[in-house]
Amino acid sequence: MPSIQPPIAKKQPHLHKNHGINRVDNYHWMRDDKREAPEVLAHLTAENDYHQAKFAPFKSLQTSLFEELVGRLDKDESSAPYYWHNHWYMSRYQQGGEYPIISRKPQLADEEQILLDVNLRAMGHEFFGLGGFSVSPDESLLAFSEDTLSRRIYTIEIKDLNTGQMLADKLEGTDGSLVWASDNLHLFYIAKDPQTLLGYQVFRHQLGQPQSQDVLVYEEQDDSFYLSLSKTLDETLILLHHDSTETTAVSLLDSHQPLGQFMPLLEREQGHEYSIAKRGEQLYILTNWEAVNFRLMTVSRSQAHDKESWQEVIGAKSGRRIEDVLLLSDYLVVQSRQSGLSQIEVRPFNGEAHYQLAFDDPAYVVGFDVNPSQHSRQLRIFYSSPTTPESIYQYDLSQPSTKVLLKQENVLGDFNRDNYRSERLFINARDGQAVPVTLVYRIDRFKKDGTNPLYQYGYGAYGYTIDADFDSAVISLLDRGFVYAIAHVRGGEMLGRPWYDDGRLLNKQNSFNDFIDVTHALVNQGYADQHKVVAAGGSAGGLLMGGVINQNANSYFAVAAHVPFVDIVTTMLDESLPLTTNEYDEWGNPNEAEAFNYMLSYSPYDQVKAQDYPHILVTTGLHDSQVQYFEPAKWVAKLRELKTDRNLLLFQTDMDAGHGGKSGRYRHYQDTAQEYAFFIGLLEQS
């Protein structure tokens, strides 16, 4: 390997004093909110140069892996068209295009009308992100949002679909979402605070008026809440959602009266989470009121403000989490999760028997696809499993046993699902809790004798469930003999709301314990060679990786941490940063001594110590809006200072990207190929 030495960051002590504890941060100087400081950029460039030099032996492998990964993609992939108002809407890719083309047809046999060629919008930009896009109710206008910096700050533009011309309207500084009023003249959007990047103001825009004339219709005073906008399926109500970690609220506006005001359905109540759907004058409310795993209630709209008037439709059940509801004119369709597996139940309103849709794989993901009309008697779902490419099925709800496959992801090459097998295990953690684990491997490469390499992935935060879906990239690992495992650790919601609560706040250590205990069990049960275990996670999953290798470094050969949230205590003490005040209910408020001490006990940055660490690959984006670049930069500097091994520690900053990495259908596979090459190349050398 080249003799280039790793960059040694200067140490410039910065003292943090909290709750009688002094923390000296030698690398605090790396924070530059403007991203212009010469010494910071020079250090990141030096790390990139070191990464490039040390990664050189794996570069050809990365190139071949990238070609392998994109070679499985159908270059002309298209979506399953759906009918809305008077057109069939669809998206498609074309040869050589990184971005989709969005189009429509009056009839499927007609020539398409291109609404938006995202490739043309992205031309000339190193990064391009398409946010929301929405066709006006009369189908004459298209509003869409775009981000060219990767800070998740979007500009909304509007296209006349009759003439093909762009309107002069341009709405800047938004979160990317938008909703049309029924008059086709007004639309609503959310403006972001430029410092905290929180969407905190809702504006009403009238076509033809400058943004400076837009009317502020709502401003969030509590910065622990996120805002979002949507419409009921019957398009009569615009919904303003107020969401924090453990409290939600909904405000309503008649879509036909855009000059009115959003009115709260209920007064906010700490710990009450709910969402609504509408059928005629009845509201259906999915709520955790007196139901940890949620129940479904109904009430007339006029009485919705009085919870005592709500009537139970589906009661709470231990071990079953009701996750979503689709409310059609003739059917109530409910998505729930039981023992970690999603289920879809159909309940006809005409009194006929309820029934569930059946799925065969031992692990899978299923959910509602685009169902744009409340009057439809058909249901579209998406379905995927570790061995089944994403599929769109359509069910005739009046005939429970009939379904039609509308579309399945086309995997090019010699992929044959029969060559692979998935398993679903429950592994006992050290406290006796059974942790769900999804496995997939190639049958003829798997021996279960403790010789296979293991790739283990985890996240474990925000109640976000990492589902057991299909990822064509993973085939490159399976074909090389890897067992691929998802550890559904506490902090996610795989086993319902209690599973989430048991992995946050003062229970966060359970997430790290679960991940480590899954690794040990898979090794002990013969699924993996103890010397060939690699692990990966991103964002809050990067925090998971940082905690795991501080606490149990010798169980892992190599680890990848992408845009990792590792300086949790310092970040959560700084209210000017994103991921702070609105995340106190997730991590804790370190202004309180108990929360501070607990967070400090596992903070990956604060707990780096003099010990051997595995090989580590760390990636970030200079313009990351969620986890600021200086968190991983500081973490890597401290690791370089203290670690006692000679294993590789590589840090790459994409100077053009943000939290999601590279944009484009193919380009983001460069990052995947890099991670895989890092793991595979090192294992081949060992």
Determine the 3-state secondary structure of 361 from DSSP: coil
Q: From CA 284, how far away is CA 276, in angstroms rounded? A: 6
Residue 400 CB contacts under 8 Å (≥ 6 apart), including other chains: 346, 355, 357
**Under 8 Å between Cβ of 563 and 620:** yes
Residue 401 CB contacts under 8 Å (≥ 6 apart), including other chains: none
Which of 374-383, 396-405, 621-630 is modeled with the greatest confidence?
374-383
Is the pLDDT confidence value at 575 over 90?
no
Is the pLDDT confidence value at 659 over 60?
no
Cα Rg, the chain, nearest whole Å: 25
Q: To 10 degrees, what angle do helices 593-602 and 509-524 make?
A: 30
Of 626 and 97, more confident: 97
Are β-strands 615-621 and 649-654 bridged in parallel, bridged antiparallel, or unpaired? parallel
Q: From CA 486, how far away is CA 468, in angstroms rounded? A: 8
Span 431-437, average pLDDT = 97
**Under 8 Å between Cβ of 314 and 325:** no
Is the pLDDT confidence value at 20 over 80?
yes
Is the pLDDT confidence value at 677 over 50?
yes
Domain at 20-70+414-685, CATH from 3.40.720.10, 3.40.50.1820, 3.40.50.300, 3.40.50.720: 3.40.50.1820
Which alpha helices (H) appear in 125-186, and where do they start and end?
none
* Among the ranges given (85-99, 357-371, 543-557, 570-584), the one the predictor scored with the smallest mean pLDDT: 570-584
**For the chain, what percent of residues have pLDDT higher than 70?**
98
The CATH homologous superfamily for domain 125-272 is Prolyl oligopeptidase, N-terminal domain (2.130.10.120)
Across the chain, what does the average pLDDT equal? 94
Q: From CA 8, how far away is CA 556, in angstroms rounded? A: 25
Q: How confident is the model at residue 657 (pLDDT cuts 50, 70, 90)?
A: low
Phi then psi for residue 248, to 5 deg, are -135, 160
Q: From CA 511, how far away is CA 543, in angstroms rounded? A: 10
Give, as one character, the DSSP assignment of residue 387.
Answer: T
Q: From CA 159, how far away is CA 397, in angstroms rounded? A: 37
**Which residues participate in catalysis according to the annotation?**
539, 624, 659
Kindly list the distances between the CA atom of residue 98 and the CA atoms of 78, 114, 671, in Å, as whole numbers in the listed order.
13, 16, 15
Is the pLDDT confidence value at 661 over 60?
no
**For the chain, what percent of residues have pLDDT higher than 90?**
87
Span 196-218, average pLDDT = 95
Q: How confident is the model at residue 180 (pLDDT cuts 50, 70, 90)?
A: very high
Structure-derived torsion over alpha carbons of residues 673, 678, 679, 685, reported in degrees to the nearest 10: 130
Is the pLDDT confidence value at 28 over 70?
yes
Q: From CA 377, how far away is CA 392, in angstroms rounded? A: 16
Span 227-242, average pLDDT = 97
**Under 8 Å between Cβ of 188 and 201:** no
**Under 8 Å between Cβ of 535 and 458:** yes
pLDDT of 75-112, one tens digit each? 889 999 999 999 999 999 998 888 999 999 999 999 99
Q: From CA 557, how far away is CA 29, in angstroms rounded? A: 31
Is the pLDDT confidence value at 663 over 70?
no
> Strands, E, within 530-641: which ranges?
533-538, 558-562, 615-621
**Under 8 Å between Cβ of 131 and 154:** yes
| Residues, the chain | 686
As to burial, measured by CB atoms within 10 angstroms (0-12 exposed, 13-18 middle, 19+ buried), residue 360 is exposed
Are β-strands 274-279 and 331-338 bridged in parallel, bridged antiparallel, or unpaired? unpaired
Q: From CA 4, how far away is CA 212, in angstroms rounded? A: 54
Nearest one of 319, 364, 325 to 465, comparing CA atoms:
364
Report which residue type is found at 677: A
Q: From CA 289, how far away is CA 316, in angstroms rounded? A: 10
Residue 319, H or E segment: none
Is the pLDDT confidence value at 400 over 50?
yes
Q: Where are the domains of the chain?
A: 20-70+414-685, 125-272
Kindly list the distances between the CA atom of residue 321 and the CA atoms of 182, 296, 336, 339, 472, in Å, as whole numbers in the listed order.
35, 11, 5, 9, 29
**Under 8 Å between Cβ of 407 and 419:** no
Give, as one character, the DSSP assignment of residue 599.
Answer: H
Report which residue type is found at 318: S
Is the pLDDT confidence value at 433 over 90?
yes
**Cα 343 from chain centroid?**
21
Residue 280 CB contacts under 8 Å (≥ 6 apart), including other chains: none
pLDDT of 587-601, one tens digit each? 999 999 999 999 999
Q: How confident is the model at residue 583 (pLDDT cuts 50, 70, 90)?
A: confident
The two domains 20-70+414-685 and 125-272 share their CATH topology (first three levels equal): no
Is the pLDDT confidence value at 403 over 70?
yes
Q: How confident is the model at residue 1 (pLDDT cuts 50, 70, 90)?
A: very low
Nearest one of 410, 374, 598 to 506, comparing CA atoms:
598
Give, as one character, the DSSP assignment of residue 613.
Answer: -
**Cα 142 from chain centroid?**
26
Structure tokens at 627: 């986890």
Q: From CA 500, how far away is CA 540, in angstroms rounded? A: 14
Q: How confident is the model at residue 570 (pLDDT cuts 50, 70, 90)?
A: very high
CA torsion through residues 199, 200, 201, 202, sign: positive
Nearest one of 147, 98, 148, 61 to 668, comparing CA atoms:
98
Q: How confident is the model at residue 675 (pLDDT cuts 50, 70, 90)?
A: very high
Q: From CA 547, how far away is CA 489, in angstroms rounded? A: 13
pLDDT of 440-473, one tens digit each? 999 999 999 999 999 999 999 999 999 999 999 9
pLDDT at 667: 80
pLDDT at 466: 93
CA torsion through residues 337, 338, 342, 344, sign: negative
Q: From CA 58, how far away is CA 499, in angstroms rounded? A: 39
Are β-strands 355-356 and 365-368 bridged in parallel, bridged antiparallel, or unpaired? unpaired
Q: How confident is the model at residue 140 (pLDDT cuts 50, 70, 90)?
A: very high
pLDDT of 327-350, one tens digit each? 999 999 999 999 999 999 999 999
Is the pLDDT confidence value at 375 over 70?
yes
Is the pLDDT confidence value at 351 over 90?
no
Q: Which residues of 381-391 are buried (b: 16+ CB within 10 A; e: fewer)?
A: bbbbbbbbbbb
Span 280-287, average pLDDT = 97
Determine the 3-state secondary structure of 186 from DSSP: strand
Residue 182 CB contacts under 8 Å (≥ 6 apart), including other chains: 137, 235, 236, 255, 256, 258
CA atoms within 13 A on the CB side of 506: 6
Q: From CA 540, how far away is CA 544, in angstroms rounded? A: 6
Q: From CA 518, how far away is CA 522, in angstroms rounded? A: 6
> How big, in percent rounded to 5, are the helix, strand and coil portions of the chain?
25, 35, 40
As to burial, measured by CB atoms within 10 angstroms (0-12 exposed, 13-18 middle, 19+ buried), residue 265 is middle
Q: Which residues of 483-498 are buried (b: 16+ CB within 10 A; e: fewer)?
A: bbbbbbbbbbbbbbbe
